[in-house]
């Protein structure tokens, strides 16, 4: 079982072509949805009194949501943003933390033996507490965001020290490591202690740092993007889910499997951004996923 902890949001997303209001979003939503195609997932998070039953049901159909706590005196985390014409730059219009601001996450008893943990973009201090709540996790992977790097940099590093892997985007890596060269950033991330680091570069793919290897993996070439929201989170969920589902043991000692899991993560990211919100992940089948994965792998063969 993979336990995902992170934000569940209501997103208002505006592109030059269409606007969708208060749709289901959040880092944990995308990551857990993507992972659920490969492994049983359990979700830890908080929602408010405005969270539609329909979304609650959509999450519940895909995963265990005993850890999803509803607070009837508060509102759900809300994020309103606008993409530019190229869908490459996003401007934040409104961020209302609401229920997640002072959330004290509790790991349900049934989740405590979870071996695999993915920590989406939460407060690193919350993440450190969560890590210590599990009995004997085998693989802990975290992401983080600019906000925490700017406000709690030391806690971000302490969190990374407690993980097996970090998945982070290029701008965040540069900010955290104070270096513009991504190869140097990746090596610095490894120096904090995790077994691997993955720097996400959007459409340009990722750089994987593991042992002494620096492995570049290009993105899947996609012609039609509708809503880039959730690409990186779906990548992380797909990566974790596939890795866990295929590994017998020693999860991160098998470089070939780690690379394949990155391809699968990228595939899940492409499905996420072809439609608004989670619709791209909701409408696909395992067959769609494997078809794209096989095509991608074949393209990359040299």
Residue ranges in contact with a second copy by CB under 8 A? 85-88, 180-184, 187, 201, 203-205, 207, 213-225, 256, 259-260, 263, 297, 299-302
| Residue 167 DSSP SS3 | strand
Smallest gap from Cβ 272 to a second copy, in A, equals 17
Q: How far apart are CA 263 and CA 260, in angstroms?
A: 5
Joined together, the tokens standing for residue 86 give 């190229």
55: number of Cβ within 10 Å: 20
b/e sequence 273-292, b meaning 16+ C-beta within 10 Å = bbbbbbbbbeebeeeebeeb
Q: Would you say 1 or 214 has its CB closer to a second copy? A: 214
Smallest gap from Cβ 187 to a second copy, in A, equals 8
Backbone angles phi, psi at 79, to 5 degrees: -135, 125
Smallest gap from Cβ 7 to a second copy, in A, equals 29
Q: Would you say 112 or 204 has its CB closer to a second copy? A: 204
Smallest gap from Cβ 299 to a second copy, in A, equals 5
Q: Would you say 106 or 183 has its CB closer to a second copy? A: 183
Q: Would you say 95 or 181 has its CB closer to a second copy? A: 181
List C-alpha distances in Å: 11 to 23, 45, 81: 5, 16, 8
Q: Would you say 222 or 282 has its CB closer to a second copy? A: 222
Smallest gap from Cβ 186 to a second copy, in A, equals 8
């Amino acid at each position: 079982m993979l336990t995902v902890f992170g934000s569940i949001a209501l997103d208002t997303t505006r592109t030059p072509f269409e606007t969708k209001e208060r749709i289901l979003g959040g880092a944990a939503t995308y990551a857990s949805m993507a992972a659920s195609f490969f492994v049983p997932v359990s979700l830890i998070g908080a929602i408010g009194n405005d969270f539609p039953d329909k979304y609650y049901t959509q999450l519940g159909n895909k995963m265990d949501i005993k850890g999803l706590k509803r607070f009837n005196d508060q509102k759900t985390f809300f994020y309103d943003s606008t993409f530019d014409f190229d869908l490459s730059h996003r401007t934040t219009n409104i961020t209302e933390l609401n229920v997640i601001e002072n959330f004290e996450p509790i790991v349900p008893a049934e989740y405590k033996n979870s071996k695999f943990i993915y920590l989406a973009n939460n407060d690193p201090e919350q993440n450190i507490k969560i890590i210590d709540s599990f009995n004997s996790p085998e693989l802990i992977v975290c992401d983080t965001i600019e906000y925490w790097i700017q406000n709690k940099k030391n806690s971000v590093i302490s969190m990374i020290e407690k993980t097996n892997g970090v998945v982070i985007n290029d701008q965040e890596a540069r900010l955290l490591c104070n270096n513009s060269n991504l190869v140097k950033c990746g090596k610095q991330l490894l120096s904090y202690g995790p077994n691997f680091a993955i720097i996400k570069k959007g459409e340009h793919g990722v750089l994987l740092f593991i042992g002494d290897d620096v492995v570049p993996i290009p993105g899947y070439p996609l012609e039609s993007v509708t809503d880039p929201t959730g690409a990186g989170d779906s990548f992380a969920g797909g990566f974790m889910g596939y890795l866990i589902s295929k590994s017998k043991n020693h999860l991160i000692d098998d470089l070939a499997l780690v690379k394949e899991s990155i391809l699968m993560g990228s595939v899940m990211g492409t499905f996420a951004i072809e439609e608004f919100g989670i619709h791209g992940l909701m409408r696909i089948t395992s067959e769609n996923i494997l078809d794209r994965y096989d095509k991608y792998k074949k393209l990359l063969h040299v």
